[in-house]
Chain A
Amino acid sequence: MLTLLIIIPIIGVLFILLLRERWARVIGAIFTFIPLAISIYLYKFFEPTNTNYQFEVNYDWVKVIGISYHLGIDGISYPLLILTTLLTFLSVLFSWDIEKRRKEYFALLLIIEIGIIGVFISLDFFLFYVFWEIVLIPMYFLIGIWGGPNKDYAAIKFFIYTHVGSIVMLLGIMAIYFQTEPIIGYYTFDMVVIQQAVAPNISSYLQTILFLVFLFGFAVKMPIFPLHTWLPDAHVEAPTAGSVLLAGLLLKMGGYGLIRIAVTMFPWATVLFSSPLAIIAVISIIYGALVCLAQEDLKKMVAFSSISHMGFVLLGASSLTAIGISGAVFQMFNHGLVTAVLFMMCGVIHHKAGTRQLSMLGGIAPKMPVAAGIFVVGSLASLGLPGLANFVSEFMVYVGTYYKFSFWVIIPVLSAVLTAGYYLWAIERSFFGPFNPSLGKVEDLDKHELIPLSILITLLVIIGVFPAIILHIIIPSSLNISWLLEGFSI
């Protein structure tokens, strides 16, 4: 079943490349819808109370050095899998009017989907790394070909930055690989075996080093202050669908890796470093929010807000509590939805009004009422208004932080004021106030833009009201991790 999720986009890529240009988007839509359907269909069979990996597939791939083709999902990866298939499908819909080199565009979107799905479902370090790197190249092209004015710089910066992050992680993978033979008697890359049998027996000194190495790799991807500088460039220059995938999914790879590998495999080191991590997380949250206040470009503001919101993921993980970790995973899911709405809206505004500069915009709400409504709801969700999805996850992170760090939680809580500040200010400056006549004719949303946006907004409301539909999947697995961590807490 899980193998299908990887194979179907590959077939889609082949079809797109072989058939005519005008079929590309239809095929893209079909072959991203099928994985979405499969991942939702799995919901029926997924047992939330079972904390083992489910739907497992395990074959030998390269037996000589112990590489296996091992797939499986649990409560941490399943929500992210749904998010991936959903956002790629919606990005394809949103990109319906792309004209330039359409064939390659949709093929690249599908390749990115393969990589991200692979990262979330693979349970073998080697496989994990392969998928992790597959994402880079198509994203490089996506930014480099369809990007904004400064695309060359942004594309290569993104490429080099995240590649350095991932090869540092590769060194960590190699180091852990060579620990397997002395401890369990054979070489393996299998994550499950390593987590259960190898990682607990690694010397504490090596655990510390490995934790930091993996943390570096994931922190670049997430990105965590001070490794975030690639993000604003890449997000701003990327085409809208690229930004959606970058912020909605690529950042989640970092967060997922943090929880799945760094925290779960090296619980001892996680406990050791939990306070510094929390401090870095809070710096990320506050710094991201402050920088947002200063932004002129709407898209850049949304990009920096991602840094702030991904800080919550790290904060939740560093709280070491079940509720904090569930909050972190849930925050990744919700941030994926919200940030997709906001980036799509940036794309819409740029497309319709011709600019994203807040000082140039103004008073466009009467011209595009639906768009204004969606943007307002998206912003409110992002700033954590109760009743919308992000409130729940941020609240959970706060609660987790309170358990661990007691009243210090006041600092991240206060950041919500900043977040509210920059969003409301941006809404006011762009949609309301006097109309800027130099903008000319501004129209409301096209149909292909409206459909994905309304799906996302609906989901935000549904999840905000009934968070349990996602949370009951996440919590058992998070509890499992927190028990693991508890054994090392003092």
Chain B
Amino acid sequence: MIPELLPELTLVAFALAIPCISYISKNKKIIGYFSIIGFLLSLIAVLEISQLSLRYSLYNDMILIDSFSIFFKSIFLCIGLLVAIASLDYIEGNYGEYYSLLMLSILGMMFVASANDLIFLFIGIEIASVSTYILVAFRKKDKLGSEAGMKYFIIGAFSSALLLYGISLLYGIANTTNIFSLKERIGEKLFEPIAVLAIVFLIAGFGFKMAAVPFHMWAPDTYEGAPTTITALLASASKKVGFAAAMKVFIIGMLAVKINWSVAFGIIAIVTMSVGNIIAIAQNSVKRMLAYSSIAQAGYIMIAFAVLTKFAIAGSLLHILTHAIMCFGAFIVVAIVVGENIDDYAGLRRRAPFTAFAMTIFLLSLAGLPPLSGFISKFVLFSAAIQAGGWVVWLAVAGVLNSALSLYYYARVIKYMYVVAPSEKKEEIKSQKWLIITVIIAFALTVIIGIYPGPFIDFAIRGAGGLLPS
């Protein structure tokens, strides 16, 4: 047994065992519990490895386990665990298939987090994507769901093709697929047109995964059509895979040619946050609004690619962590309320006081109000941009102004929950204990990171250290 890969192996074992169990037992809960145990064991294994704080390089440098990969693995596993818990209440149908795919998609994400080789990275992305294609269309009878799945699949396959093309061009230039050797070899090919072409393809490929403008068109439709727990998975974990991969390829592999791409990322960041926020204002469906808001949040995270200091990357990682939690919480609230239109939220404070309060906290945290987690991560991120000085200061200014703008549509939902009286009598909200449990966990984390951010900032800084040692 190779202990460094224990978390992945645990997931594989459980993911393969679940379909077998589902032949024996049709009890949904047993399968659910089984997968939760799998996630927990894997998470414990990751935490054990993180205690060692070493860098392991395995399989001829294909896999690198360091603080950066541990950071992402913990996020992915936590989100996977929460989604698994929430799904106990939410999903109807073939549970064995559902939980198995869920675990495999998380497995793919973890591969990406520890990949040190372009091919391995691509395989990880594909494992994660293919599983989520099916999960998005899990409600087969639902037209909206099938459309969402189809759209996601076509766009996803297209972006994978772009990515693969970019990777093959890189291989052509540098003669290696190893990210660390790439770093050394690409330096001298600085201005070759083919290097620029490779960068364009890679940005486009990763841009689709991150749902950055102008590659974001699929996201709102897919988020809206997917089962809400899967939407939470997409927005909280799947989207972050794009960032993990892009950080590896760009910040480690192509740091030498950064003048070719950092400005491009800066522009995409500003456009992404502005477009996401502006379109979100016009949305009447809370689910779509959250989808656009998570596009905007991707814009904030991208600031790190333009600033490129250790502190900025730490801010970015921290924002990935906090956004994963708050966004997850907000989507699960949507799952609890069932309704997606903003009118369904009118008077929610009466029907479900805790859910309404938790939603308020998530939304305010997404808007970046202190003392919540979203404020802390935005604070670190924007202040890193100001520290770096030069043109990236404008990224911080854009981010800050966008945060103010975003407050408008977040506050609108809060207004509906607390101020507007429902137009007709709404049915009671069913008490769904597993969904509520995940909301409580996300709520607690949002508040704790906000009030006591020290260890989390530390964790993010260590994670960034794995990427950019200086």
Contact = CB atoms under 8 A, between A and B. Distances in A.
Interface string B443-464: 0000000001110011001000
Interface in B19-55: none
Interface residues of A, number: 30
Contacts of A136: 369
A140 B414 CA distance: 10
Contacts of A64: 454, 457-458, 461
A210 to B, nearest CB: 12
Interface stretch (B102-110, B193-201, B207-215, B401-409): B401-409
A329 B407 CA distance: 33
Interface residues of B, number: 29
8 residue pairs, one from A and one from B, having the closest CB atoms: A174-B383, A130-B370, A178-B387, A62-B454, A174-B386, A130-B371, A167-B400, A164-B404
A159 interface: yes
A63 interface: yes
A183 interface: no
A63 B458 CA distance: 10
Contacts of B454: 61-64
B400 A137 contact: no
Contact of A134 (B370, B408, B457): B370
A156 B411 contact: yes
Contacts of A155: 415
Interface in B404-432: 404, 407-408, 411, 415, 418-419
A170 interface: yes
A174 B382 contact: yes
Given A62-B454, A133-B369, A136-B369, 4 more contacts: A62-B453, A133-B370, A133-B375, A167-B403
Interface of B: 364, 369-371, 375, 379-380, 382-383, 386-387, 396-397, 400-401, 403-404, 407-408, 411, 415, 418-419, 452-454, 457-458, 461
Question: Helix, strand, loop or mixed for chain B's interface?
Answer: helix
Interface string A118-136: 0000000000011001101
30 contacts: A62-B452, A63-B454, A64-B461, A65-B457, A130-B375, A134-B370, A134-B371, A137-B364, A137-B369, A140-B411, A141-B418, A144-B415, A145-B418, A145-B419, A152-B415, A156-B411, A159-B407, A159-B411, A160-B404, A160-B407, A160-B408, A164-B401, A164-B404, A167-B401, A171-B386, A174-B387, A175-B386, A177-B383, A178-B386, A178-B387
Interface of A: 61-65, 129-130, 133-134, 136-137, 140-141, 144-145, 152, 155-156, 159-160, 163-164, 167-168, 170-171, 174-175, 177-178
A163 B396 contact: no
A325 to B, nearest CB: 30
Contacts of A164: 401, 404
A134 B369 CA distance: 8
B370 A167 contact: no
A64 B453 CA distance: 9
A129 B370 CA distance: 8
B458 A174 contact: no
A208 B239 CA distance: 42
Residue from A61, A141, A144, A174 with most neighbouring chain B CB atoms (10 Å): A174
Contacts of A129: 370
B457 A62 contact: yes
